[in-house]
Amino acid sequence: MRTITKNGVRIDDTFAEAFPMRGTALILTGPNKRWARQAAVTMTGFATSVIGCGCEASIDGEVEARDTPDGRPGVRVLIFAMSSNDLQTQLVNRVGQCVLTSPGSACFSDLVAADALKVGDLLRYFGDGWQISKKFGNRHFWRVPVMDGEFLCEATTGFTKGAVGGGNLLICGADYEKTLRAAEAAVEAMNEVRDAIMPFPGGIVRSGSKVGSKYKALHASTNDAFCPSLRGMTKTALDDDIGCVLEIVIDGLTEAAVADATRAGLAAIIKLGPRNGARRVSAGNYGGKLGPFHFHLKDLLA
């Protein structure tokens, strides 16, 4: 495969293939930063991949108290699913089980769109008839009595049908330590991009997958072409100087957000260089057959 070398790092002339998703954004607030983040961490748990989790979700960033609807510390979260119905189910279950239950929490929509999902409109029934409807301008909220006071939740949240999931980078290094260092640098840079998340643990996945398996029950299995331990036993995609590979998966509310996050990650990896980080960067695709969004690495180097 043709490569482009930047600061000693080989960049494969290939593309990451991504697919359409549904996505929404919420702001979760709490009595302080600790509890706002706790609600967000709990809500976005077990949400790495739609393959096994039903959705993909993570924290998009902290929100200062001056910028939240109720003037308290907040955290913005993004959640993605393959269909509107799946997103609705995941949203109400996660807010109901993880935010409603979190001390001092409140939940607000942070995406204005033509299409909407129910949040407070469903969770209000937990109030058992004691819930109160409140409207401020064009926004509708529900006040649900709970044991520490009340849970304030926006009735609905907008969602987009133009979200993009499955953008990715394959980071290849000489050893585990250097490859992880490069991946961490990339994730740190990507976290600065609004409207994009990296849903796997710490933004990084070691168990990259391919579509299909020798076992009929599995829809996905280990990406053996990028497993250094299988070099010599399978058709490898790795050079002899690669001893470890880590992947970053990117979801975004827009195609531009995924592109910007990928660009930021690439720049961070290149800046680190091969002596301290990655020797090569590639991306996963299926020949353009899986999804309509193609993020060509060479186009994102600028």
Give the span between the Cα atoms of 54 and 18, in whole angstroms: 17
Tokens of 260: 């910007």
**Can you state the angle between helices 255-276 and 176-190, rounded to 10 degrees?**
150
- Give the whole-angstrom CA distance, residue 207 versus residue 221: 9
pLDDT at 157: 98
**pLDDT score recorded for residue 289:** 81
Q: What letter represents residue 275's amino acid? A: R
Backbone phi and psi for residue 182, each to the nearest 5 degrees, phi listed first: -65, -40
* C-alpha–C-alpha distance, residues 108 and 68, integer Å: 9
| 132-136/196-197 β-pairing | unpaired
* Complete domains list, the chain, with CATH: 3-18+163-300 (3.30.70.520), 22-160 (3.30.70.520)
- Distance separating alpha carbons of residues 186 and 269, to the nearest angstrom: 6
DSSP string, 138-150: TEEEEEEEETTEE
Instruction: Count how many Cα atoms sit within 13 Å of the Cα of residue 32 in the half-sphere of its side chain.
Output: 1
pTM of this structure:
0.96
User: What is the phi/psi pair of residue 176, to 5°?
Assistant: -60, -45
117: Cβ contacts below 8 Å, ≥ 6 apart:
24, 84, 87, 88, 91, 92, 156, 157, 158, 159
Q: Which of 26, 130, 33, 114 is nearest to 73 (CA)?
A: 33
Compute how many other C-beta atoms are within 10 angstroms of the C-beta atom of residue 230: 15
pLDDT digits (tens), the chain, 302 positions: 899 999 999 999 999 999 999 999 999 999 999 999 999 999 999 999 999 999 999 999 999 999 999 999 999 999 999 999 999 999 999 999 999 999 999 999 999 999 999 999 999 999 999 999 999 999 999 999 999 999 999 999 999 999 999 999 999 999 999 999 999 999 999 999 999 999 999 999 999 998 889 999 988 899 999 999 999 999 999 999 999 999 999 999 999 999 999 999 999 999 999 999 999 999 999 888 889 999 999 999 97
